[in-house]
Amino acid sequence: MKLLGVAVGVAVVGVLIGFYISSYLVGNTPAFRPKATGAAGARTVNLTIQTVAAVGPSLASNHPDWVSYLVRNNQGRWERSTVWTLPANAIVHVTIYNFDGASGLRNPFLGQPQGLVGKEIVDGKPLGALPPDQPSHTFAIPELGVLALVAPVGDAAKNQCNYAPCTMAMAHRTMTFTFRTGKKGHYRWQCFVPCAAGFVYGFGGPMQTIGYMDGFVNVV
Amino acid sequence: MSSQPRSVEGGPAHGRRFLTAWLVLSLILSPLVAIYLGPAIPPGNGSVEATGQVFDNEVLVTFATPICIFVVLFLLYAVFSFRSRTVEIVDGPPVRGDSRIQIAWMVVTTVAVLALAAFGSYELLVDGAGGGQGPNAAFLPAGHSQAMDVQVIGQQWEFTYRYPTLGGLETPHLMLPANTLIRLHVTSLDAIHSFWAYQLGVKADANPGTDNIVYVTTKGPRSFDIHCAELCGLWHGYMFDTGQVVEQSAFTAWAKQQQTYFAPVAKYLPAYSTTYLPDPQRRAG
Amino acid sequence: MTEFAAHETDYEVVEGEPAELLGRNLNSAGHLLASATAFFFLAFLFAYFYLRSLNNAGLWHPKHVSPPVTLGTLVMALTVLSATLVRLGVADQRAARRPEWRLKAAIALAVGIGAIVVQVVAWTTMGFGPADGGYASVFFGWTAFNILFIVGALYWLENLLATAIRYRNVPVGADPKPGHASGDPGRPGHDIGNPLSLVRPGLEALSFYWTFLAGLGVLAWVVLYLL
Amino acid sequence: MSTTVVETHRPIWRRLIGFNLLTGIVFGVVGYYIGWFIGHHITGASVAYFSGIDQNDISVTLGYLLGVGGFLIGLGFGVYPWARIRGYPPSLREKETQGASRYFGLCTDHKVVGIQYMIGIGLFFFIGGLNAMLIRVELLRPASQVFPAGQYLTLVGMHGTMMMGIMTSAILGPFANYFVPLMIGARRMAFPRIESLTFWLLMAAGAILTTTIFFGGFPTGWTGYEPLNSQANTGMDSYLVFFALVGISMCLLGLNMLATIITMRAPGLTWSRLPIFCWGVVSTAILNLLAAPVLIAVLGMAVFDRTVQTTFFNPQGGGSPYLYQNLFWVFGHPEVYILALPGMGIVLEILPVFARKPLWGYRLAVSGLLGVTLLSWLVWQHHLFVSGINSDLRPFYMLSTELISIPTGFTFLCGLMTLWRGQIRFSVPLLFSLAWFFNFLIGGLSGVFLSDVPSDVTTHGSFFSMAHFHYTIMGGLVFAFFAAIYFWAPKMFGYTLNERLGKIHFWVMFISFNSTFAPLFAIGFLGQPRRTVTYAQHLQFLNDWVSISAFILGGSMLIFLYNFVYSLLFARIRAPQNPWSSVSLEWQLPTPVPLHNFDRIPVITGEPYGYGSPGIAAIPAAGPAGGSA
């Protein structure tokens, strides 16, 4: 009898632990699939994302102070997802609203946009390259050769956004650019700017955690 | 509990029988391995160094064959011919060693090991064998003074490349001229990476603040895979790339095209240097 | 063969072991511990010379990093003094001069604690922090762990001294009250015939180890302050 | 689990109160939070960028350390030091209780500690194995699928760290603790309390490593290379504290073993009469004692780098990542032999029993073990062949690395020649021992490729090296581990393990082991780097093959588990006192072994392997009481 009780207790605890561990292991931000328009093969997708200095308690309970990317879902609300599903061989028009200050690049070479269709437009002006101390973040899909820069909000700017969600009334910069998704595949995207405050080389925490400054582009 | 042992004398001449079997098998198998298996071992003939590695592997695998046969055959022979066939426990002969066998074994293994080490050292020192040899190695390949400099910069998580001979051009693609002795300067900006150009037989760790030099002599035009071979964080598994070896003419054309494409950022690049140590970032994200 | 299976042995077998067995155990253990400690600090010695030879980013030893030589020397001197006192104490103990050795041990303990205090003062009053380059890192790491080991050795010394004091009135060979040895008076029966006989083995092992540690302290002093 | 258990008739709630595992855990948790609050008080807002609680390394590290302290106090390790502070003389009186409860607390009986070790290490071996299974699940497909990249790295790191950390004591823990005193005719270990401490430290360490997932895991694998180490989340602190505790445990274990074998041998047991297994323990213990401190030191530096911002390994602050690589491998390579040497000892101990012959070339075997012990200190930079330091020294490290194959060859010669002309009787332990020779042969020969720089350039950091050390460590250590279990279980537990199930276990494990790791040599040569969550398309078939074999390999462990539980708890077939009719000392004792082993210390009059020569006293005669113990 006692033995049975012990066995049941052990089983319950084991199940709970197993559930926790498995939820950690497969844990990931939910995949987001933007609406695609146009015929198959020549599809176009509009992707609107924002970068914010701190994701804030309402969107991330465990790391509220981490810098993060957010995406605007099909209902027009900001949600924290960095795993995006895009159609193959599609034209993707990306709009980035940046509410974050400058961090600076370790490798100045990454200050020039690469692999885009046309030029990257920052607040209406085409961008050649940013000086190394300027970039706030980058949006890069190395396997597709895509690299876009995110220009910073000046330190002097009024009405800065401390943590997400931010409103368009707050100081921000607007980047728009276009790239092609290649063949089907499972591509990673990341930020090259060491923007993780408090980590050696600024490259820990959010820079090495999917859901903040890293994510996947599932091209299907 | 232990009864009288069987006498050592009598019974077939196991020793001679085993040694003959081993000799025959080795004489048959080792050449086969050397001829068929050896040349098939990667990394192939993408560069002079890679060819050298293939030869090295061929020698090693040929050398390993008789040893492998010896131990396995010995085990099988002993297991099958010395298993006890009695119900009650019978002890074997109380043999406690044989100095002649011991000395012979020591001599053979020592000679073999020294030969191997000498061979490996020679193979290593003639051309560096495609391994990273640090900023100031004593042994350099012939004609290293005319080698073409190319810098490999590892960062989390992408390799970029600089060509000091092309005005410090930096590009995300590795393009190498054919039939040339290249001097790769491998360094890193943050964590430890390892630059592995598989078909070229090149591997060199990228340490921050270190100029890890590796020489490679390209052959004909081809493409080759690039991996990061040292755990460097989240996207280590995605830190791969493809490089090209092309004819000299194509190389110059490509270089010109890259210089125009990356003109905007050129003015922001730091002066070419063997290592870069940017200040640690302490600003708010 | 049957002798082996005779019957279960009782406690007296172990508790009745001759003191010289404990002596041999502690003696070998002291030497082994000393060798382990040596390898531990070898890592810091290596780090010192390696980082010094590399001098990455020119930050091995920035100008404003000036080690507290006076206090450091004081720490080293106090450690050596304490070790010497323990050695003298061993001589007294061998010669059955019990009060003398207790006095020396007490002073040695006080001196050792003094060394720790001085080290703490040095850390808090000097003009650089652990983040100030390679030398500062090695300095902090080495001194911190050195103090840690000193604390351990002093704890050992305190044990022996306390035993000697607790049984100071027990004539050699007399029996203590039940349960004394385990510190658990609830236990029935006798423990150790003569507790004082167990002090000397520990003392000899300690004096070796403590001297060795002081020697390492001198090495640290030479490397960190003189080179 | 052991028949020496005498049920004590106290209600269970009474037994739960007092110094035992339960109080240990409670005190441990309390200690963690105390440390956490202290650490948070220290660096509240003082260090500007420690903004979030989750990034405060000082809190987490302090919490872990105080947690371990509380755990040990709760287990009862505080009683004796406190008594010594108050001046009570050394004693062994405490904690030699009978009953099942002694397995859940501080017990100074070396036989109890041995069984504790076997169960505890088995638990963590199981967890590490599960991680390996999950890794192989992920590698079923070329692209990242089941686990996100970060969690995959945590899996890899936990598997490697668990195996390389906990399993260092896989032989010394259970078998040396249990059988060395019996083999040398002693009544106890030299320092029984330290013996128990090493075990509980190991358990605390394992628990701490598993909690790394609460802090986001760690990305560095088992080597924990800097500066990635300094970049990582607080999950990294679990790794650092874990390995530091394992280092302390290893060091103390080695010290205890050496002291015991040096000082407590029975009269007449000269060094040249010491059983070869004890020699394996001696050589391993030497490495434990001297290598572990280096590990503790380098991890201490890493902790300082993460907490008080020293710059040991930060090239921008005057440090160097090479410093970490050097110091880590100064420990790391001896550590590999800490895993391999006890296996040699076990195999050479088992062969004579089943070949019914004396160990062939006893002195050669001993010199082989000691030679490996010595040489293992001179080879560490072969882990850095392509890292660009001391490239001109590479020929030397190539030579020293290949020189190790000479003393290793001694082991092979002695083992093989022991079989020669023997009267071999097949049993599960012998099968595992023979398999050891095959696995270690493959491992050693592949090691020659890795030690040869031109070949190493391609194989370095690839799946080839991974296959190599799995052949040496799993093929060497784990096979020897099982050989030892099947060999000594009758003495340890008093019941025989099922022979037929044992043979099934062996064949499944041996075949699936080889079909798991042999293809990895090819995968490595074909260019797949270690620890990558993705790989090239054309390698999928080989990887799937390996994964499926790995699952079968995992299944073979379940066969063993079934056999173990079934034989010990349900079948309960009493084992004879000396089932293998061995002549060595531990088998001459009654089963179960009495509390203090020998009521009269035996006097050893002959060599340990007196098979086949009645002239030599097979059974050592019991000498006068007292003796030297």
Interface contact B134-D388, CB threshold 8 A: yes
Where residue B3 falls among pLDDT bands split at 50, 70, 90? very low
The distance of D305 to chain C (nearest Cα, Å) reads: 9
- pLDDT at residue C177 in the model: 61
Residue numbers of the domain that contains B123: 14-83+101-130
Q: State whether residue D537 sits within 8 Å of chain B by CB.
A: no
- pLDDT at residue D48 in the model: 39
Q: Which is more confident, B273 or A155?
A: B273
Q: Same domain for B220 and B245?
A: yes
Q: Which is more confident, D236 or D1?
A: D236
What CATH number corresponds to the domain at position B174? 2.60.40.420
- pLDDT at residue D354 in the model: 93
Q: Same domain for B184 and B233?
A: yes
Minimum-distance CB partner of B109 among D152, D399, D406:
D406
Average pLDDT over residues D284-301: 95
Average pLDDT over residues B124-139: 86
CATH 1.20.210.10 range(s) for chain D read 108-588
The distance of D92 to chain C (nearest Cα, Å) reads: 7
Judged by average pLDDT, the poorest of B58-72, D224-238, D607-621 is: D607-621
Q: Domain count for chain B, please give it.
A: 2
What percent of chain D clears pLDDT 70, i.e. is strictly above it?
91
pLDDT at D94 over 60: no
- pLDDT at residue A1 in the model: 65
pLDDT at D45 over 70: no
Minimum-distance CB partner of D385 among B117, B125, B131:
B131
Report chain A's mean pLDDT, rounded to a whole number: 85
Interface contact B75-D421, CB threshold 8 A: no
Where residue C4 falls among pLDDT bands split at 50, 70, 90? very low
Judged by average pLDDT, the poorest of B87-96, B165-174, B195-204, D360-369 is: B87-96
The distance of B262 to chain A (nearest Cα, Å) reads: 8
- pLDDT at residue D516 in the model: 95
Interface contact B230-D461, CB threshold 8 A: yes
Q: Which two tokens stand for residue A148?
A: 């876009």
The distance of B124 to chain A (nearest Cα, Å) reads: 34
User: Mean pLDDT highest for which of C24-33, C55-64, C188-197?
Assistant: C24-33
DSSP calls for chain A = -HHHHHHHHHHHHHHHHHHHHHHHHH--PPPB---EESSTTS-EEEEEEEEES---TTT-SS-TTS-EEEEE-TTS-EE---EEEE-TT-EEEEEEEE-------SSGGGGS-BS-SS--EETTEE-----TT--SEEEEEGGGTEEEEEPPPPTT-SS---SSSPPTTS--EEEEEEEE--SSEEEEEE--S---TTSGGG-SGGGGSBTTTEEEEEE-
Q: State whether residue A195 sits within 8 Å of chain B by CB.
A: yes
- pLDDT at residue B7 in the model: 46
Residue B89 lies in a domain: no
CB pairs under 8 A between A and D: 59
Q: Are strands B202-206 and B148-155 parallel, antiparallel or unpaired?
A: unpaired
pLDDT at A28 over 70: no
Residue B201 lies in a domain: yes
Quote the DSSP letter at residue D318.
T
Quote the DSSP letter at residue B279.
P
Largest CA distance in chain C: 77
Q: Which is more confident, D401 or A16?
A: D401
Chains that touch A (3 or more CB pairs under 8 A): B, D
What percent of chain A clears pLDDT 70, i.e. is strictly above it?
95
- pLDDT at residue A184 in the model: 87
- pLDDT at residue B164 in the model: 93
Residue type, D568: L
Where residue C16 falls among pLDDT bands split at 50, 70, 90? low
Average pLDDT over residues B182-190: 93
Residues in chain C: 227
Chains that touch C (3 or more CB pairs under 8 A): B, D
**E strand or H helix at C32:** helix C19-54
Q: Which two tokens stand for residue D600?
A: 């009269």
Mutation test of the interface with chain A: which of D55, D123, D308, choosing the one with the most A Cβ atoms within 10 A? D55
The distance of B109 to chain D (nearest Cα, Å) reads: 6
What percent of chain B clears pLDDT 70, i.e. is strictly above it?
93
Average pLDDT over residues D166-191: 91
Q: Report pLDDT digits (tens) over D127-142.
A: 999 999 999 999 998 8
- pLDDT at residue D230 in the model: 87
The distance of D17 to chain B (nearest Cα, Å) reads: 46
Where residue B11 falls among pLDDT bands split at 50, 70, 90? low
Interface contact D612-B92, CB threshold 8 A: yes
Average pLDDT over residues D397-401: 92
User: Mean pLDDT highest for which of A188-202, B81-95, D377-391?
Assistant: D377-391
**E strand or H helix at B58:** helix B48-81
Q: Which two tokens stand for residue C109?
A: 């303990």
Average pLDDT over residues C194-205: 82
- pLDDT at residue A37 in the model: 84
Interface contact B280-A192, CB threshold 8 A: no
The ranges assigned to domains in chain C are 43-55+69-169+196-227
Q: Which is more confident, B264 or C12?
A: B264
Q: State whether residue C60 sits within 8 Å of chain D by CB.
A: yes
Q: Report pLDDT digits (tens) over C119-146.
A: 999 999 988 888 888 899 999 999 999 9
The Cα–Cα gap between D262 and D283 comes to 13
Q: State whether residue D141 sits within 8 Å of chain B by CB.
A: no
CB pairs under 8 A between A and B: 95
Average pLDDT over residues D242-267: 94
Q: Which is more confident, D55 or D223?
A: D223
- Chain B residues within 8 angstroms (CB to CB) of chain C: 209, 277
Q: Which is more confident, C199 or D370?
A: D370
B253: three-class secondary structure by DSSP: helix
The Cα–Cα gap between D222 and B274 comes to 31
Contacts of B123 in chain D (CB under 8 A): 452-454
Contacts of B277 in chain C (CB under 8 A): 56-57
Minimum Cα–Cα distance from D324: chain C residue = C47
Interface contact D536-B225, CB threshold 8 A: yes
The Cα–Cα gap between B147 and B131 comes to 16
Residues B17, B104 contacting (CB under 8 angstroms) = no
- pLDDT at residue B93 in the model: 84
Q: Report pLDDT digits (tens) over D496-554.
A: 899 999 999 999 999 999 999 999 999 999 999 999 999 998 999 999 999 999 999 99
CB pairs under 8 A between C and D: 230
Where residue D617 falls among pLDDT bands split at 50, 70, 90? very low
Alpha helices per DSSP H over D190-275: 192-210, 228-231, 235-263
pLDDT at A127 over 70: yes
Average pLDDT over residues D599-616: 76
| Distances in whole angstroms, Cα of residue A138 to Cα of each of A80, A95, A150, C220 | 17, 13, 5, 48
Q: Report pLDDT digits (tens) over C91-110.
A: 998 888 888 999 999 999 99
Chains that touch D (3 or more CB pairs under 8 A): A, B, C
ipTM over 0.95: no
Report chain D's mean pLDDT, rounded to a whole number: 87
Minimum Cα–Cα distance from A153: chain B residue = B285
* Domain C43-55+69-169+196-227 CATH assignment equals 1.20.120.80: yes
Give D108-588's CATH code, choosing from 3.20.20.220, 3.90.1150.10, 1.10.20.10, 1.20.210.10. Answer: 1.20.210.10
Average pLDDT over residues D104-116: 89
Average pLDDT over residues C19-26: 84
Where residue D483 falls among pLDDT bands split at 50, 70, 90? very high
The ranges assigned to domains in chain A are 39-219
Minimum Cα–Cα distance from D525: chain B residue = B42
Q: Report pLDDT digits (tens) over D48-87.
A: 333 444 567 888 899 999 999 999 999 888 888 888 888 8
Average pLDDT over residues B75-90: 87
Average pLDDT over residues C42-57: 92
- pLDDT at residue D6 in the model: 40
Average pLDDT over residues D320-328: 93
Report chain C's mean pLDDT, rounded to a whole number: 84
Judged by average pLDDT, the poorest of C151-155, D144-148, D379-383, D483-487 is: D144-148
Contacts of A108 in chain B (CB under 8 A): 265, 268-270
The Cα–Cα gap between D465 and D285 comes to 26
Q: Report pLDDT digits (tens) over B242-280.
A: 999 999 999 999 999 999 999 999 888 888 999 887 765
Quote the DSSP letter at residue D495.
B
Minimum-distance CB partner of A210 among D134, D149, D227:
D149
Q: Same domain for B257 and B233?
A: yes
Contacts of D583 in chain B (CB under 8 A): 1-2
- pLDDT at residue D348 in the model: 95
Q: State whether residue A209 sits within 8 Å of chain D by CB.
A: yes
Contacts of D187 in chain C (CB under 8 A): 9, 13-14
CB pairs under 8 A between B and C: 4
Minimum Cα–Cα distance from D146: chain A residue = A26
Average pLDDT over residues D564-584: 89
Where residue A52 falls among pLDDT bands split at 50, 70, 90? confident
Fold of A39-219: Immunoglobulin-like (2.60.40)
- pLDDT at residue D629 in the model: 33
Minimum-distance CB partner of D529 among B64, B97, B227:
B227
Interface contact A214-B234, CB threshold 8 A: yes
Interface contact C50-D323, CB threshold 8 A: yes
Q: State whether residue C45 sits within 8 Å of chain D by CB.
A: no
Average pLDDT over residues A71-98: 88
Contacts of D54 in chain A (CB under 8 A): 62-63
- pLDDT at residue D571 in the model: 87
Q: State whether residue B66 sits within 8 Å of chain D by CB.
A: no
Residues D169, D198 contacting (CB under 8 angstroms) = yes
The distance of B171 to chain D (nearest Cα, Å) reads: 24
Q: Report pLDDT digits (tens) over D350-359.
A: 999 999 999 9
Q: To the nearest 10°, report the CA torsion of B227, B230, B232, B233.
A: 90
